[in-house]
Amino acid sequence: MIYKMTRRAALAGVASIAMIAAGATSALAEGWKPQKPIEMVIMAGQGGGADRLARLFQSMIQKEGLASMPMLPVNKGGGSGAEALRYLKDNEGDAHKIMATLNSYFTTPLRTDIGVDIEEFTPIARMAVDTFVLWVNADSDIQTMEDWVAAVQASGGSWKMGGTGTGQEDSLLTAMLEKEFGIEVTYVPFDGGGDVAKNLVGGHIDSTVNNPSEQMGFFKAGKSRPIAAFTTERIDAFPDVPTARELGHDIVYSMQRSFVGPKDMPAEAVAYYTEMFSKLNELPEWQAYTEDEALDRDFLTGDALQAYFLEEREKHAAILADMDADGAS
Amino acid sequence: MLVADRVIAIAIMALSAYFMWHATALPIGWNGVTGGPGGGAFPFWLSLVMLLSAAGVLLRSLMQAPSSQHFFDSQMLRSVIAVVVALFVTIALIPVVGAYVAIPLFIFWYIRIYGGHAWVLTTSLVIGTPVFLFFFFEVTLKILLPKGVTEPLFFPLYAMFF
Amino acid sequence: MDTLALLADGFATSLSPLNLMIVILGVTAGLFIGAMPGLGSVNGVAIVLPLTFIVPPSSAIILLCAIYYGAMYGGAISSILLGIPGASTAVATTFDGRPMAQQGKAGLALIAAAVASFIGGTISVVLFTLFAVPLADLALAFGPAEEFALVLMAFTTFVGLGGDDKLKTIIMICLGLVLSTVGLDLISGQPRLIFGDLPGFYSGISFLVLAIGVYGIGEILYTIESSRTAPQVTPAKITLNDLWSGIKTMNRMWRTMSLGSFLGFFVGMLPAAGATPAALMAYGMARSTSKDPKSFGKGNIEGVAAPETANNAASTGSLLPMLTLGIPGSPTTALLLGGMVMWGLMPGPMLFIEQPDFVWGLISSLYTANFAAVAINIALIPLFVWALRMPFTVLCALVMVLCIVGGFAPSQKMHDVWLIAGFGVAGYLLRKADYPLAPLVLALVLGPLMEKSFRQTLISEQGNVLAFVERPLSGTFIAIAALFFVLPLVKYLRKGGRRSIAPAE
């Protein structure tokens, strides 16, 4: 506590000197500017989808000079992001830390008691929403959702669904499928989406609900087949793949990719980062990337984002409660 | 030597018991629903093997005849303890006063007070090491070291090098 | 030949003056980053990734490969000079590299490491050039059961029977395996063994923390205590003649090195395995096929050459699934993959067809990076050896500072620095009580892979334990593992039989 107060007092004292020094570099927003490198906490380990996306943002920000200080990615993926959430909580009021989130932002505090309330954090910007698609190996006979349900039923519970871990996005979606169709599958967790995709193509699992970006390479090579999309509308990259909703099953699930700051982040800093991300959102490179990877670019900031977070948390709480009620895993 | 062997064996047994207790938070048996062992099974049963093996080491040492060999070299033990204490103090200081104060202090203690080296060598290392660390880790690799209360002093440096 | 024509085109890009300069810069930077305990290729690649937007993609990938290779070479430097493996891939290098340095043969060990790395890198790049596409299918055939069998094989080739005090070895293996389970249980998604509810344990105990602790701090404490009675580390010297004769010595080790290269390449190619099991298996095989297995661990030069060829071959091998399947085998290749995606290249089965310029530019840059790395590394050996000649107290102080900073750098948590100090003291005491430390470190590295693949298999096979032996590939590996486990026992019995009285231990 003493440490924090002295630091803040000293920060104010030296701010003026630093401002003069920082004035030389290009300015984005009038007023507040970061005085030291900005830490970008990533809620996942190195090399995963979330990490790759966060580092993509970092390099775009750096390339276009959107921030006056470098952006330093730090992975704190331990305990499904519990480590990152605790870290952000412990750095209340810090203007130089932002966190790249995924859906474990909702699920981790719900599943384990880590003393974190995400409502306290400062929402900054939602960059994209990732979609989910049901995939099977291209060699299988399954062409439609009905085929798939029939095959799962015929297997008598030994149907292997790959995923990235119990409590992760795809396991929730798998649970939703089980509930909707009254079926039972064997859920096999792997290290990451890429690993799951490889095991599907290698025939070690029977189906999976990967993000399109994770399967795109195999899909283009004709090694995997999309069956249904869990989106509200058809995905542009797969115009022939029906949505689950079209097929009469109301399953819609998505993965948000957003940035948040710690509790009580100074308003000027929030404004600075919001502007930085909105400029990033306009970049042609980012727009091209989202099209290639079938990401839904859906920019959202401020109170609207907070409302979205709280609504999603409600949704996830309901799904998790359902999962626990089933008591399957 | 034998006494130390026994103490370490008992410590390992205590540690194993502690691990086992922690592991029971998750299922340690065969999970019939998902197939395969539960989350606590690996740590629990391995700790048990560790506990039994350590008990074996303890029993074996009880059956051996006492030897006159000493576990520690009594003269050098003091040096080892001094270094360990200095290391712990340094680590404790890093988050408070920052790496750029704690580490030079440690080097000063080690080279000058403990090692008894000349002032020239001591001073050059006390100044040279943090300068190297700053340029290698912070400027080149973009890994920020903890600064504690000294953080504001670094703002002008950041502005200059980043 | 089509392949050769494509490769020639690739060389035309990678040998341009700008690209050559980039290779030299990248290799030198990688070498120093890799030589720093705690830092490895992943740090180097992560840092330069954003910079690669300034140069064209072909030069960018060359820079990344150069750093990747440089760091792989550099990892051996800290293993040999300081006895601290800078990355898990270099653990096996410490077993004989460190004793060699203590005998004053640091220069020779460094040469062996450099030459072996070069041979391993070169053989595997050639394999890569010729067979990249067909081999991708082999990687796909690997499911969890095969992964488990492979890790088990890595374990048994290394540990085997015999050697140190058996009870104490078992204790250390178990301890390593238990420590490896700290953090998150992948299967159930629940945190486990969060000692004292400290958030630092959520991400588990990293290999680096344990290795820097027991090999770095622990070793220094041990040396301080024994510095009064035992002679100090023999000061190492190196002349041009030594360099030359060192390279000639390597000429005798073709068998070990080619074995290491093939093994490294094939194991490295499998997404989940990577360079660490490859290096361990190569070490284990070199030892068990050697005429003088007892000299291993006491400064046998083959014990340096084998793991170094294998880990470099494996790092090339691990590029294969990344390029052909889009699956990164290590955090470093994951970052490389991220880089490629940023340049608009989609790794996967279509990459070789759609982007041949890029693929062959990359392959040719592996050749150049490898040449540059061995040349620069050998040129710098006198500098590294000279660094060992500083007074003991100065070296100790600086290594301790490196341990603190290097332990902090990867995860940027003070929690890890405290753990390093704790492991240092524990490692020192355990070593004094004759507990072997290598099995502890190895168990921590291989443990997570083993547990995960074991449980994945059982889940997907509905609890059928026989699945491991029923599947042809995994069954073969299990059989080899069993063979290696009993091999020392057979040797021991045969020797005992001839002498008619088994020697008492």
pLDDT digits (tens, 9 = 90+) for C458-494: 888 877 888 888 888 888 888 888 887 777 667 666 6
Residue A79 corresponds to which amino acid? Answer: G
List all residues 6 or more positions away from B103 whose beta carbon is below 8 Å from its beta carbon: B90, B94, B129, B130, B133, C401, C404, C405
Residues of B in contact with C396 (CB under 8 A): 83, 110
- Structure-token pair, residue C434: 């004759």
pLDDT attached to residue C154: 80
Q: Which of C91, C53, C12 lies closest to C444 in space, CA to CA?
A: C91
* Residues in A 152-191 with any Cβ partner in C closer than 8 A: 158, 160, 165-168, 171, 186-191
pLDDT attached to residue C35: 85
Q: Which of C33, C37, C3, C136 lies closest to C408 in space, CA to CA?
A: C37
Strands A97-101 and A71-75: unpaired
Interface test with C, best of A51, A161, A187, A191 (most C CBs within 10 A): A191
List all residues 6 or more positions away from C299 whose beta carbon is below 8 Å from its beta carbon: C96, C99, C100, C102, C103, C105
Same fold flag, A30-130+255-321 and A133-252: yes
Alpha-carbon gap: B124 to the closest alpha carbon of chain A (Å): 28
What is the pLDDT tens value at each position of chain C, 505 positions in all? 477 777 887 787 777 888 888 888 899 988 988 888 878 787 778 777 777 766 777 788 788 888 888 888 888 898 898 888 877 788 889 889 988 988 888 888 999 999 999 999 999 989 988 887 777 777 788 888 888 888 888 877 776 544 567 788 889 989 999 999 998 787 777 788 888 888 888 888 988 899 889 988 998 898 888 775 544 555 566 777 777 888 888 888 888 898 899 989 988 887 666 788 888 888 888 887 888 888 888 889 999 999 999 989 988 888 888 888 777 767 778 778 777 777 777 777 778 777 887 888 888 888 888 999 999 998 888 888 887 777 888 888 998 999 999 889 888 889 999 999 999 999 999 988 889 888 898 888 888 888 888 888 888 887 788 888 888 888 888 888 888 777 766 766 666 544 433 333 3
For A267-281, B26-40, B143-157, C96-110, which range has the lowest pLDDT when averaged over its residues? Answer: B26-40
Alpha-carbon gap: C201 to the closest alpha carbon of chain B (Å): 13
Contact partners of A by the rule of 3+ C-beta pairs under 8 A? B, C
Per the CB < 8 Å rule, is B76 touching C225? yes
Comparing alpha-carbon positions, the chain C residue that sits nearest to A47 is C334
Residues of C in contact with B125 (CB under 8 A): 394, 397-398
The rounded distance, in Å, linking the Cα atoms of C250 and C433 is: 36
- Secondary element (H or E) of residue C422: helix C414-432
Alpha-carbon gap: B142 to the closest alpha carbon of chain A (Å): 7
CB atoms within 10 A of CB A58: 22
Total residue length of chain B: 162
Q: Is residue C51 classed as helix, strand or coil in its secondary structure?
A: helix
Is the pLDDT at B141 greater than 60? The verdict is yes
The rounded distance, in Å, linking the Cα atoms of B47 and C167 is: 14
List all residues 6 or more positions away from C442 whose beta carbon is below 8 Å from its beta carbon: C91, C155, C158, C159, C173, C176, C280
Instruction: Give yes or no for A186 touching B (CB within 8 A).
Output: yes
Interface test with A, best of C42, C188, C327 (most A CBs within 10 A): C327
Residues of C in contact with B83 (CB under 8 A): 220-221, 224, 396, 400
- Structure-token pair, residue C229: 């009675």
Instruction: Give yes or no for C432 touching B (CB within 8 A).
Output: yes
Q: Could you read off the pLDDT of A277-326 as tens digits, one per residue? A: 999 999 998 998 888 778 888 899 999 999 999 999 999 999 888 877 76
Comparing alpha-carbon positions, the chain A residue that sits nearest to C347 is A217
Q: In this structure, are residues C353 and A217 in contact, taking their beta carbons and an 8 Å threshold?
A: no
Say which of A55, A86, A195 has its CB closest to residue C49.
A55
pLDDT attached to residue A30: 57
Instruction: Give yes or no for C350 touching B (CB within 8 A).
Output: no
How would you write C53-106 as a 3-class SS string?
Answer: HCCCHHHHHHHHHHHHHHHHHHHHHHHHHCCCCCCHHHHHHHHHHHHHHHCCCH
For every residue of C111-163, DSSP letters joined together read HHHHHHHHHHHHHHHHHHHHHHHHHHHHHHT--HHHHHHHHHHHHHHHH-SSS
Residues of B in contact with A6 (CB under 8 A): 149
Backbone dihedral angles phi then psi of residue A221, each to the nearest 5 degrees: -85, 5
Instruction: Give yes or no for B141 touching A (CB within 8 A).
Output: no
| Cα C361 from chain centre | 26
List all residues 6 or more positions away from C193 whose beta carbon is below 8 Å from its beta carbon: B19, B22, B23, B43, C178, C181, C182, C183, C201
Residues of C in contact with A204 (CB under 8 A): 143-144, 460
Per the CB < 8 Å rule, is A47 touching C46? no
Per the CB < 8 Å rule, is A52 touching C187? no
Measured CA to CA in angstroms, residue C181 lies from B43, B54, C145, C186, C446 at distances of: 7, 20, 19, 10, 11
The rounded distance, in Å, linking the Cα atoms of B101 and B78 is: 26
Helix H segments across C181-239? Answer: 207-211, 218-226
Residues of C in contact with A160 (CB under 8 A): 460
* Residues in B 57-76 with any Cβ partner in C closer than 8 A: 57, 60, 71-73, 75-76
Q: Per DSSP, what are the bridge partners of residue A123?
A: A260
Per the CB < 8 Å rule, is C456 touching A171? no
pLDDT attached to residue C498: 45
- Structure-token pair, residue A313: 């948390």
Per the CB < 8 Å rule, is B43 touching C397? no
Helix H segments across chain A? Answer: 2-23, 49-64, 82-90, 104-111, 145-155, 169-181, 193-201, 212-220, 267-282, 284-292, 302-326
| Cα C323 from chain centre | 21
Per the CB < 8 Å rule, is B142 touching A72? yes
- Structure-token pair, residue A61: 């920000």
Measured CA to CA in angstroms, residue A308 lies from A88, A111, A274 at distances of: 20, 20, 16
List all residues 6 or more positions away from B128 whose beta carbon is below 8 Å from its beta carbon: none
Domain A133-252, CATH:
3.40.190.10
Q: In this structure, are residues C390 and C71 in contact, taking their beta carbons and an 8 Å threshold?
A: no
Per the CB < 8 Å rule, is A186 touching B35? yes
How many CB pairs lie under 8 A apart between chains A and C?
160
CB atoms within 10 A of CB C475: 17
Measured CA to CA in angstroms, residue A106 lies from A256, A273, A323, B25, C64 at distances of: 10, 22, 15, 23, 36
Q: Per DSSP, what are the bridge partners of residue A137?
A: A224
Residues of A in contact with B149 (CB under 8 A): 3, 6-7, 10
Per the CB < 8 Å rule, is C463 touching B83? no
pLDDT attached to residue C495: 60
Per the CB < 8 Å rule, is C342 touching A56? yes
The domain segmentation of chain B, as residue ranges, is: 2-63, 74-161
Instruction: Give yes or no for B148 touching C (CB within 8 A).
Output: no
Per the CB < 8 Å rule, is B156 touching A13? no
Interface test with C, best of B81, B120, B141 (most C CBs within 10 A): B141
Instruction: Give yes or no for A197 touching C (CB within 8 A).
Output: yes
Per the CB < 8 Å rule, is A77 touching C326? no
Interface test with A, best of B31, B158, B161 (most A CBs within 10 A): B158
Q: In this structure, are residues A72 and A39 in contact, taking their beta carbons and an 8 Å threshold?
A: yes
Alpha-carbon gap: A251 to the closest alpha carbon of chain C (Å): 23
Neighbouring C-alpha atoms within 13 Å toward the C-beta of A161 = 28
What is the pLDDT tens value at each position of chain A, 329 positions in all? 344 444 444 444 444 444 444 433 334 445 788 988 899 999 887 666 788 788 888 888 888 888 888 888 888 877 788 889 989 998 999 999 999 998 989 998 988 888 889 999 999 999 999 889 999 999 999 999 999 999 999 988 889 999 888 778 888 999 999 999 999 898 888 877 778 888 898 889 999 998 888 888 788 888 899 999 999 889 888 899 999 999 999 999 999 999 999 999 999 999 999 999 999 999 998 998 888 778 888 899 999 999 999 999 999 999 888 877 765 44
DSSP tag of B115: T
Q: In this structure, are residues A85 and A108 in contact, taking their beta carbons and an 8 Å threshold?
A: yes
The rounded distance, in Å, linking the Cα atoms of C88 and C117 is: 16
Q: In this structure, are residues C272 and C452 in contact, taking their beta carbons and an 8 Å threshold?
A: no
Comparing alpha-carbon positions, the chain B residue that sits nearest to C221 is B80
B162 — pLDDT class (breaks 50, 70, 90): confident
- Structure-token pair, residue A10: 């000293």
Instruction: Give yes or no for A316 touching C (CB within 8 A).
Output: no
The domain segmentation of chain A, as residue ranges, is: 30-130+255-321, 133-252
Say which of C174, C393, C430 has its CB closest to residue B50.
C174
The rounded distance, in Å, linking the Cα atoms of C385 and C235 is: 9
Q: Is residue C304 classed as helix, strand or coil in its secondary structure?
A: helix
- Structure-token pair, residue A163: 């995923």
* Residues in C 439-478 with any Cβ partner in B closer than 8 A: 451, 454-455, 457-463
Q: In this structure, are residues C36 and C212 in contact, taking their beta carbons and an 8 Å threshold?
A: no
The pTM of the whole model exceeds 0.90 = no
Comparing alpha-carbon positions, the chain C residue that sits nearest to B50 is C171
Longest CA–CA separation in chain B, Å: 70
List all residues 6 or more positions away from A10 whose beta carbon is below 8 Å from its beta carbon: B149, B151, B152
| Cα C232 from chain centre | 29
State which fold the A30-130+255-321 domain adopts: D-Maltodextrin-Binding Protein; domain 2 (3.40.190)
The rounded distance, in Å, linking the Cα atoms of B152 and B100 is: 13
Helix H segments across C236-391? Answer: 240-250, 254-269, 275-289, 302-317, 319-325, 331-342, 351-354, 356-387
Residues of C in contact with B25 (CB under 8 A): 192
Q: Is residue A135 classed as helix, strand or coil in its secondary structure?
A: strand
